[in-house]
Amino acid sequence: MKLPLYNLILFISLGILGACKEQVRQDNRTSAPPQNFPGPNTPGDGDIKQALSGEIGLSLSPRATSNILEWEAVDSLRYDLEFVLGETEDFAGATVIEDIKSPYTHVKPDAGTISYRIVVRKDSQQALTAPVNDVPKGALLDCLNTTGTAVQTLELVFASSELQDCYLFIGEGKKLKELSLAGAGVTDISPLTYLEGLESLDISQNPDLVDLSPAAELTKLKSLNLNGNLGVTQIGPIATLVNLESLNIGNSGISDLTGIEPLILLNTLNLENLGLGAQVSLGPIGVLRKLVILNISGIVVQPGEETCPIVGVSPILYQICEPGVDITFEVHVQKLLQIHCLQCHSQNELVGTPDQVAASNLTIVNNTMPKAGPLSLGDKRIFADYAASQVEEDD
């Protein structure tokens, strides 16, 4: 059958038009963005299954009256929370809180264990995370089960900081920077190992404290005060605290400074009355080149070190005598008045004009200091302080 010419032309035109529309449809499918999660913060078709698989890093941080849930959130996904009482994986009849954001704080409705899971939703798709619960475990469980002398220490920490219970102690303890338990009757510092962010710790005047080994884990400490802790007899347990800048072990039971050598950042060291009358060698502190404040009042030094408190004839102590070192002492001041530490000056810049030297010597009782040779700045401070103390006593 032959078609009229105009019908043939119309048929061909419609065919061409249809082909063009199909090509347009093909082009649109090629260039249109994915329907699932376009953009850098939303997953595509391949990522949706991973995002919906429940592998979103769901974690739970328990508190005494609430639980904090956190996960790796994607903006275009919706998250619903389901929870039931008890330690279970059966969520039949669970309470649902819709469209929550990470982190989410859930106030506990009742005492006892609570189990949670997150429902991840996208359009008609959804997935369930593995359940989590607030059953105490790990460090928290250890804290809650603390017994013996450590209980008192925990209670003292709770009372003297914002860490008012084991939940906060374990959950937030790493953020605590300063803690003082001075004179609190502490005998066990083992709970402090959880406070690994501490930079300043004062546990002075606790004479029944003996074991310092737990402090070895507080490696961020910059200041440690152990003054008056007669039960502490060894410095070795804190040799790991290499970030210490200030250490006070005065009036403690320590008589041997061996082990202090690694603490090379120390700029302040209090050794007052160290040894409780026993002879003490200052040799180990010879490597502490950053010292600017050193208190050795009341120390009975070993023979050969007594002519000068930190130099004398001991080569390892010789290097400490540097400009700017501030030494405070009482026992050796009379020896200094009689024997000027000329050895101090051989490695350091000589300071002072003859007039200044003479003026400095005038502050010395009975003018017994030899006037030959200039005084170091450190000596001048020592003698000035001593003269001032004599004036106060005369008054």
pLDDT of residue 382: 57
The beta strand positions in the chain, using DSSP E, are 59-62, 66-70, 78-85, 95-97, 104-107, 114-122, 125-128, 132-133, 178-180, 200-202, 223-225, 246-248, 268-270, 279-280, 293-295, 300-301, 326-328
CATH superfamily of 45-133: Immunoglobulins (2.60.40.10)
Q: Which residues on adjacent β-strands are paired with residue 300?
A: 279
Gap between the Cα atoms of 182 and 202, Å rounded: 6
Q: Using alpha carbons, select from 36, 96, 100, 32 the residue that is nearest to residue 68.
A: 100
Gap between the Cα atoms of 103 and 295, Å rounded: 51
Name the residue ranges covered by the structural domains of the chain: 45-133
Dump the DSSP string for 321-341. --TT-EEE-STTHHHHHHS--
The beta strand positions in 207-325, using DSSP E, are 223-225, 246-248, 268-270, 279-280, 293-295, 300-301
Cα angle, residue 221 at apex, residues 216 and 223 outer, rounded to 5°: 115
Q: Which residues on adjacent β-strands are paired with residue 200?
A: 178, 223
Amino acid identity, position 337? L
Query: Cis peptide before 303, with omega less than 30 degrees from 0?
Result: no
pLDDT of residue 123: 85
Gap between the Cα atoms of 298 and 227, Å rounded: 14
DSSP state of 193: G
The beta strand positions in 165-305, using DSSP E, are 178-180, 200-202, 223-225, 246-248, 268-270, 279-280, 293-295, 300-301
Question: Between 354-361 and 377-394, two packed helices, what is the crossing angle to 10 degrees?
Answer: 30
Gap between the Cα atoms of 336 and 361, Å rounded: 12
Are 205 and 230 in contact by the 8 Å Cβ rule? The answer is no
Gap between the Cα atoms of 318 and 346, Å rounded: 10
Q: What is the mean pLDDT of each run of 10 residues along the chain (395 residues)?
A: 47 48 40 34 50 73 93 90 94 95 92 91 87 93 94 94 93 94 96 96 96 95 97 94 96 92 91 79 78 76 47 36 44 39 36 38 35 48 57 54
Are 68 and 103 in contact by the 8 Å Cβ rule? The answer is yes
User: Given its phi and psi angles, is residue 277 left (phi above 0), alpha (psi -120 to 50 degrees) or beta?
Assistant: left
Gap between the Cα atoms of 184 and 181, Å rounded: 5
Query: Strand 200-202's sheet: what is its strand order?
Result: 178-180, 200-202, 223-225, 246-248, 268-270, 293-295, 326-328
Tokens representing residue 82 in the block: 């389901």
Measured from the Cβ of residue 107, the count of other Cβ atoms closer than 10 Å reads: 8
pLDDT of residue 392: 58
Are 212 and 192 in contact by the 8 Å Cβ rule? The answer is no
